[in-house]
Amino acid sequence: MAEAHQAVAFQFTVTPDGIDLHLCHEALRQIYLSGLHSWKKRFIRFKNGVMTGVYPGSPSGLLVVLVGYMSTTKYAKIDPSLGMVTKLKYVTEEGQRVVGGVLIGTGLWIAVTFVMRNVLKCLLSWHGWMFNRHGSLNLKTKIWLVLVKLFSGPKPMLYSFQSSLPRLPVPPVKDTVRRYLDSARPLMDDEQYKRMEGLAKDFEKNLGPRLQWYLKLKSWWASNYVSDWWEEYIYLRGRGPIMVNSNYYAMDFLYVIPTTRPAARAGNSIHAIMMYRRKLDRAQIKPLMVLNTIPLCSSQYERMFNTSRVPGVESDVLQHMNESKHIAVYHKGRFYKVWMFYDGRLLLPREVEQQIERILADKSEPQPGEELLAALTAGDRIPWAKARSQFFSRGKNKQSLDAVEKAAFFVTLDDSEQRYDPENPVQSLDSYGKSLLHGKCYDRWFDKSFNLIVFKNGTMGLNAEHSWADAPIVGHLWEHVLSSDPVRLGYTEDGHCKGNSHPNLPGPQRLQWDIPEECQAVISGSLKVAKALADDVDMHIIPFKDFGKGLIKKCKTSPDGFIQIALQLAHFRDKGKFCLTYEASMTRLFREGRTETVRSCTSQTCDFVRAMMNDKATVGLSLMLLKVAAEKHQDLYRLAMTGNGIDRHLFCLYLVSKYLGEDSAFLKEVLSQPWRLSTSQTPLQQLDLFDLKKHPEYVTSGGGFGPVADDGYGVSYIILGEDLINFHISSKHSSPETDSHRFGSNIRQAMLDLLDLFQLDNKENNFKIF
């Protein structure tokens, strides 16, 4: 679509009189501006690297130290160089004083910075604050918080705390085995438990200590003893489809669509995403802080943009580019490359809308094999890896694939309409969730770090690849986009982006492909696999409006613990049995930390569920058991966050055993047990961006993921404001044991039943049912 001459800086013709050279001054100007932008970005990265490298010190701190040192030595009539530069014969005495003072003062500043950083690391290694009662801090914790603030530098940047974060500790084998047996007890009968206990004790005495030695050695050498292996073996070495099985999605606002013009919605959203990338490149995003003091690791942000998962026969790899100035767009079977910069600046929202309008107005047909091409990213990885090597390693196919894989991110202009329909809430939300999770299986590039999906009616959403980062990282970006779109950027009365279009803006570039029939056969095979997987997904989304966090807090119970126990009650009513349950927790209090598992199905929770299923059990007994179960759940969550979880430690011990060629019946059995209930809370991280009291209509829907086990459920939930909790439930139609809608009904009833135990008077608590 772009005119060819706009991409050419000069032309020449050979005549009898010589070579006639024609320069295109506009093209040369754009080249100059592009180079200027690149050098500015390099300088900013260098500056940020220096600022982060010396944190918690700062250039202003260096100046203070130098001035103070020079003034002190001058007042005391002491040689500031301490005699170190007296041999500089060709430098005046005053020059020697200055040079010596700068050298010694800088060394003093470096020493102070080093001490502050290590003191801060020691302070952050203490996690006793996690075990305070919710809502209260003891004197020891208050003093500790003051010290952390004191040794933290001013105005931290995104990566400022990285070198001050402690390393993830390796828990003792004895403690991990004990916690595992405690978690396995409610899921086994006496004979099964006795057998597992024997395997565990044998492992603890014999093979375990040897594996632990190697794991501790890695923990001393590597930044994090889990994360690299977790990324490689859990994500990148998986040979099955990543669509549904790994990728996850995020939804738009629940009740409103700011504009029904898809080009305008895409214009604002793409611009907001690019502005977020600019802040990310400049490290201007504030690091997340617990209690406004305790930093979380920010390393996962590094590969948010310009990243693609590249398939391999044995293992995939993550390809990350330092810079990308374009995005890739898909619409009705055609791929486009859209430049995001012109005249040395980022395109404005109306200019992005202009580019999207050009794509929507394009009536050209897809090239042979182009429409279904992205199905390769949705199917099994080995056929995609072989096809990529055979058909996309040279020529125009390589150039076009590079344009997709090296794009900042991927955009799909979906030709379907999705949104929450108050007249048909169940079917509309279920369809919306399935569309974001897998679409048509060929209209999302599932290998990109994330896909922005804009529907025909202006609704939008994200589909994100999981290996490079976890959901809270993508959630942070999405919160920025949703808060910027209708409020900060806004739209005109007729639904367009604010501002003016650009009369000279070059159009999007249509990508060219040459896909032979042999490759098209591979694409068809991948599409068949992906379609079977997508059609099997049973998705159900529940906006739970009966009550929310506000009322749960009045019960003096953790909202997360309350929901997890409700899920256990709902699951038992749904299947008549307990199951191994996965709840995702984070370990970002440590350097390069990612996630840990909270095993939510505890003996205490099972006791409570049995009491609820027993008509003879009193309300008082059930309430007491609920409180005990909730406290146990909180303890497990705290242990997981502070590096004392079960599953990551056992996972790494298992890998060490494989490297050593040792077989462990205990580890093999533990890691082969399926998670038939996989759960995750989507946290709302930037509360200051959303004022749900003033704008209750701007409530997001959260996001979800596919089922982990063929006969299990996947449940994601987000707590919004004081009165709303959204549940995203997934399972497989092919399993006779599961039904997402049935499970959703059981969740709703379980939530209400738990609340009834507290016998709260709705009127006294100003509780309002929507």
Positions marked catalytic: 466
Residues 6+ apart with CB under 8 A from 594: 226, 227, 230, 300, 470, 586, 587, 588
Picking from 124, 140, 120, 122, the residue whose alpha carbon sits closest to that of residue 132 is 140
CB atoms within 10 A of CB 577: 10
The maximal CA–CA distance of the chain, rounded, in angstroms, is: 107
Token digits for 711? 């006969």
Is there a cis peptide before residue 503, judged by omega within 30 degrees of 0? no
HEC secondary structure over 539-576: EEEEEECCCCHHHHHHCCCCHHHHHHHHHHHHHHHHHC
Q: Which residue, 308, 346, 352, 337, is CA-closest to 403?
A: 337
φ, ψ of residue 300 to 5 degrees: the values are -70, -20
In sequence order, what are the residues at sequence separation of 6 or more whose Cβ sits closer than 8 angstroms to the Cβ of residue 24? 5, 8, 9, 10, 11
Cα radius of gyration (the chain): 29
Question: CA nearest 568: which of 746, 755, 756?
Answer: 746
- Chain-centroid distance of CA 494 in Å reads 35
Q: Please give the order of strands across the beta sheet that includes 713-720.
A: 537-544, 724-732, 713-720, 677-681, 581-586, 595-599
Q: Could you tell me whether strands 317-320 and 537-544 are parallel, antiparallel, or unpaired per DSSP bridges?
A: unpaired
How many Cβ atoms from other residues are within 10 Å of residue 265's Cβ? 28
CA 490, CA 499: separation in Å to the nearest integer? 10
For residues 181 and 221, give the distance between their C-alpha atoms in angstroms, rounded to a whole number.
30
Would you call 562 exposed, middle or buried from its count of C-beta atoms within 10 A (0-12, 13-18, 19+)? buried
Instruction: Dig out the tokens for 90 from the structure.
Output: 């060709």
Looking at 413-470, list the stretches that DSSP marks H as alpha helix, in order from N- to C-terminal side: 425-438
CB 121 within 8 A of CB 166: yes
Question: In angstroms, rounded to a whole number, what is the distance separating the alpha carbons of residues 587 and 637?
Answer: 10
Q: How far is the C-alpha of 42 from the C-alpha of 48, rounded, in Å?
A: 10
Give the Cα separation of 363 and 359 in Å (integer). Answer: 9
